[in-house]
Each structure stands twice: as structure tokens, then as C-alpha cells.
Amino acid sequence: MRRFFIAGNWKMNKTGAEAVELAKALKDKVDGIDKVDIAICPPFTALVSTSEIIKNSNVQLGAQNVYWEDQGAFTGEISVPMLINAGCQYVIIGHSERRQFFGETNQTVGKKLQKVLDSTLNPIFCVGETLNERQSGITEKIVQQQITEALNGIPKENVSRITIAYEPVWAIGTGVTATPEQAQDVHAFIRNLLTDLYDSKAASEIRIQYGGSMNAANAEELLKKPDIDGGLIGGAALKADSFAEIIKTANSL
């Protein structure tokens, strides 16, 4: 049985003090919840301070990006050892905003995945089609390409440590959520693809989160679908109340 995994991607929001306040409020609201894995992914500048707040709680820490070298002349980048040292257990890789605005490709995403899987960090690997791609009927082709190219060379022993986040680009930050059926269809497609690339055991262990305008009102119908194992939440994770509601919904299913 896969445990639900609800993660909050704070994106480029919250100063240090604001991040500490949100982490504190969330920690109190989800205290005692034990059937759901919970993570917050604040900006780099708030990792250390929030890690102090959630230490010894059921809330874990993730970063939003990482580079594949350990150290050196890579101005502006952050490495895997730095994230581990800051208290992270997870890192988001290949978010559509990084692909769209910062030139990430399936190849760079693959290099980051390899690097992270060689460490104790666990990746949240994002895939998803644009509106134009969905309307052209090539959603599955795009998602298949994103997954096969990025997982190229990643061995079976490591693959179940990956969480895949299916985030249709047209649903991110738009208030337009994929219907539970649309999401389930792509999640099932991804799981079948993982069976082909690895085997049914690995495919059944990998968690696949949905992301894209998920909120307290629509979480239940999405999370009830058999291949939806959690959520990667943007806007609704910026308020302790709405994020805790989603976590409680998952805990009740």
C-alpha cells in the first residue's frame, strides 16, 4: 500500500520570518496525523530556519531545485550536500516553471535525478503537458518522453525512491483543475509506463502526486482515484488552514 504524500511547493514566496510563521502554524495543525507523509518546500533562504521549526514533527522538508555538482564555480546554484546539511529530505526536480522560464530540459532533469538518487535525498520529479499539447492530443506522448528521457540510466533499485508529480501546466496557478478522471487517466498511463520501463513491483511502489490548482475543496475527489497518491500543492500550501485541510482529507481516506 502506498502512503499518501502531500507536499507544499511554496515557490518564490515567504521571507524568512513569514516562512517560520507558516511552518509553525502548519506543524500545530497537523500534529498527530500519521497516515500521510507531509513535506513543505520553502525557498532556499528559509530552509534552515524552517527545518528548526519542524524538527521532531511529522512535517518534512524539501527544496525546490538542486544542481548536479557538489561544489565549485557555479554561481547561484545549490548542491545536494548543501540541501542535506540544511535539513532537507526531499527536492523538487524539473518543475514546469523551471522548464519554461529557466531552460531545464529532460536531459538536465535526468542529471539532477541521478545525482539526487546517489544521495539520501528523495526526488519529487515533475512532468506534465501544456494546454497546447493537450489540445493537440499529445499529452501521453509528452509525458512518456519526459519520463523515459529523464529516467534513462536510472536503475530499478533506486526508482521507487522517486515521487512523480503529474502537473498539467494548464492547471498550475490557473484555478482550473484537471478533472479526477483526466488526472487518473494520466496517472494510470504513467504507472503502466513504469511497468514497461521497470516492472510491476517498482511501478506499484512509486507514488504519483497530482499538482495543479489542488485545494481543500477538490482534494477528496482527486485523492480517491486509485493511482493518485497525493498532491504537490502551490497556492493552497501558502496558508496553514487550507494546506492542513488537504492533509486531513488524505488522512481520512
Print the binding letters for residues 173-202 with ligand 13P: x by CB under 6 A, - otherwise.
x-----------------------------
172 sits near ligand 13P (criterion: CB under 6 A): yes
| Position among 62, 123, 211, 230 found at the interface with ligand 13P (CB under 6 A) | 211
Q: What is the DSSP letter of 21?
A: H
CB 11 to ligand 13P: min, Å: 7
CB 213 to ligand 13P: min, Å: 4
232 sits near ligand 13P (criterion: CB under 6 A): yes
| CA dihedral sign, ordered 167, 168, 174, 178 | negative
Decide if 146 contacts 96 (C-beta within 8 A): no
Cα–Cα dist 31/7, whole Å: 16
> What burial letters (b/e) apply to 206-222, b meaning 16+ CB within 10 Å?
bbbbbbbbbbbebbeeb
User: How many Å separate Cα 135 from the centre of its chain?
Assistant: 25
Mark whether 167 is an active-site residue: yes
234 sits near ligand 13P (criterion: CB under 6 A): yes
**Beta-bridge mates of residue 235:** none
Decide if 79 contacts 86 (C-beta within 8 A): no
Catalytic residue (one of 97, 104, 129, 167): 167
235 sits near ligand 13P (criterion: CB under 6 A): yes
By CB under 6 A, name the binding residues for ligand 13P: 9, 95, 167, 172-173, 211-214, 232-236
User: Which residues are annotated as catalytic?
Assistant: 95, 167
